[in-house]
Amino acid sequence: MAIGEGSFLTGAAVFLGAAVVAVPIFKRLGLGSVIGYLVAGAAIGPFGLALIEDAEEVLHFAEFGVVLLLFIIGLELKPSRLWVMRRDIFGLGLSQVIVTGAVLTALLVAVGLAMRPALVAGLGLALSSTAFALQILEEKGTLNSPYGNRAFAILLFQDLAIVPLLALVALLGPGATGEASNPWLEAGKIIGVVAAVVIVGRYLLRPVFRIIALTRAREVFTAAALLLVVGTALIMAGVGLSMAMGAFLAGVLLADSEYRHQLEADIEPFRGLLLGLFFIAVGMSVDWLLVLDNILTVLAGVIGLLLVKALLIYGLCRLFGVGDRDAQRVAVTIPQGGEFAFVLFSAAAGAAVMAAEVANLLVAVVTLSMAATPLVGTLYEVAVARLTSTTADVEDVSRAEQKSVIITGFGRVGQIVAQLMHAQGIGITAVDHDPERIQIAEKYCNKVYFGDVRRADVLAAAGAGKARLIFICVDDPEACNAGISHVRAAFPKAQILARAFDRNHVLQLMQMDVDYFLRETFESSVAMGKEGLRRLGLDPAKVEDIEQEFRRRDQERLSIQQAEGEFAGVEKVFARYDEAASQKRSNP
């Protein structure tokens, strides 16, 4: 059935069913989720069981998953960090596209392809798959590693390169004339739109999200995040840039925002589903009958593409000063063809720059190279694991993270804790759902994020998986307990230090495996009582003894209540214990 015919729910069930069956199998085999999605798409597509016939329409819709992916990546890259990466983006990235494109073009001409289609094919094959590469890096947890950053820098420049490459296709077409629009005017339009987006994002986005956050309506916050992504993507597409680049720019503009992790948590479910749909659509788009008819040509193309690109990327990385191991990792991460090649080859076929059959074979080569990339990466990791040990790397990461602290709830308790940590130079991440407290937190904390402690995904985005200590200082007992439960379940290695509200809350925390808790008024009340005794003339040593006895008695009362489960019978326990204490004083 076509996706536009029959029941929408039936089509959705087919996609979801195929993913649910295929992805766990391939994850279990150690081949990764990407190949699972590709196989699922091949199975249900027009060249498989034909459960879904319109692969092109699905692919067009599913490209929004790549847009959301680039938005989330942008949230991870502060403008200052992007500036630091400029050499990799415009040096290494530009060199990779030009050198790889030139070599592939020469090889295609050598095997008999005419110059014009060979040039478009060579430059198109020089582009790698942002979606595939970033998914692989995310699954391995290496997206923010040095080699992950360099791979991303190359991919980012490739996304920028699609605009001039499409213009090149138009110029190479037999119907191209000198009446095309003024390139200087088009460049000015692009620069103007980008500048407008940057200015609006820099000065308006944070105030707008702050107003939305004050409404405490989570669904509106999520809707605003999606509107931001869709809006910037459409604006960029309107001036000829890729939608993914627009979303990436929006993410970068919010990378310094306190709402970054809440946005990431809200977008993530949509991104994951749509990106999976994109991979399925890629698997559906391959004409497997054409591949079988030209199997040797396609296989030679896949092997040649992976080998040539990997060698060239490795050599360029080494030329730009990248270490040997990192250069190898970049080379095995992005040797495949990319999703933008589909757009380029389709445009080339439409402009009569290359034959439709050649375009289809190139699409098959790109798709199969995507499928082969996880296998190449797995084989590489297995080979490296047998030759070297990564223990030192793990120890370095451990030492870097050993003092990481998260404070959830930045009210009166959280602020005092933050000041103590800040005075010792300890890095702090604050999480709160009150925009006004977020502004206060910026004075003491390295990172400040808007979010709810009851959402494990928000805490994960804020770095709870790497935190050594997590302070739960929220001013709501139910939210405190829910937050503790989520942290203990999702981040078992973190130590939890919690704010307790009263005696009954202490008894609840004692059953929740909290590493440390303290009643918010207990210590201040004890200190005030001690000062009163001193002012009444009691000897300071006697006052200290009284304090220690009181603390011991309080702890015993808590133990009795915990054992008997008398959460509501506090007065009864106090009376029983005080009676025993009175008898002890009468019979010393």
553 has a pLDDT exceeding 70: yes
**Which structure tokens are listed for 306?**
């992976």
DSSP string across 285-340? H--HHHHHHTHHHHHHHHHHHHHHHHHHHHHHHHHTT--HHHHHHHHHHS-S--HH
Mean pLDDT of 535-540: 83
Quote the CA–CA distance of 310 and 83 in Å, as a whole number. 27
Position 404 scores a pLDDT of 74
Contacts of 282 (CB under 8 A, 6+ apart): 37, 38, 41, 59, 339, 367, 370
269 has a pLDDT exceeding 50: yes
DSSP 8-state symbol, 354: S
User: What does the pLDDT look like over 127-184, one tens digit per residue?
Assistant: 998 777 877 787 776 766 778 888 888 988 887 777 678 778 777 766 554 444 555 6
Lowest-pLDDT range of 381-385, 465-469, 571-575: 571-575
Position 2 scores a pLDDT of 47
Quote the CA–CA distance of 129 and 122 in Å, as a whole number. 15
- Identify the residue with better confidence: 282 or 94: 94
User: What does the pLDDT look like over 46-81, one tens digit per residue?
Assistant: 877 878 777 777 776 777 777 777 777 777 666 666
Quote the CA–CA distance of 127 and 155 in Å, as a whole number. 8
Choose among 123, 78, 85: nearest CA to 104: 123
DSSP 8-state symbol, 181: P
Position 312 scores a pLDDT of 94
Enumerate domains of the chain plus CATH numbers: 8-173+181-388 (1.20.1530.20), 400-586 (3.40.50.720)
Between the ranges 149-153, 246-250, 426-430, 547-551, where is the mean pLDDT highest? Answer: 149-153
Position 300 scores a pLDDT of 92
Q: Residue 328 in contact with residue 118, Cβ under 8 Å?
A: no
DSSP 8-state symbol, 110: H
Supply angle C-alpha 88, 94, 95, rounded to 5: 90
Residue 496, judged by CB atoms within 10 A of its CB (0-12, 13-18, 19+), counts as buried
Question: Which residue in the block uniquely carries the two structure tokens 């069930």?
Answer: 13
Choose among 507, 458, 512, 450: nearest CA to 482: 512
User: What does the pLDDT look like over 441-485, one tens digit per residue?
Assistant: 777 676 777 777 777 777 777 778 778 888 888 888 888 888 888
Q: Residue 222 in contact with residue 213, Cβ under 8 Å?
A: no
Q: For residue 190, what are the CA distances in angstroms to 195, 338, 351? A: 9, 24, 24
Lowest-pLDDT range of 24-33, 141-150, 206-215, 579-588: 579-588
Q: For residue 511, what are the CA distances in angstroms to 194, 472, 473, 545? A: 55, 16, 18, 30
562 has a pLDDT exceeding 80: no
Q: Which residues, in sequence order, are bridge partners of residue 405?
A: 428, 469
Q: Categorize the per-residue pLDDT at 100 as very low, low, confident or very high, splitting at 50, 70 and 90.
A: very high
Q: Which residues, in sequence order, are bridge partners of residue 447?
A: 429
User: What does the pLDDT look like over 407-451, one tens digit per residue?
Assistant: 888 887 888 888 877 777 777 888 887 777 777 777 767 677 777
Q: Categorize the per-residue pLDDT at 240 as very low, low, confident or very high, splitting at 50, 70 and 90.
A: low
User: What does the pLDDT look like over 324-380, one tens digit per residue?
Assistant: 888 988 999 999 888 778 778 877 887 788 888 888 888 889 888 887 888 888 788
- Identify the residue with better confidence: 262 or 220: 220
Position 359 scores a pLDDT of 84
Mean pLDDT of 222-234: 81
Residue 270, judged by CB atoms within 10 A of its CB (0-12, 13-18, 19+), counts as middle
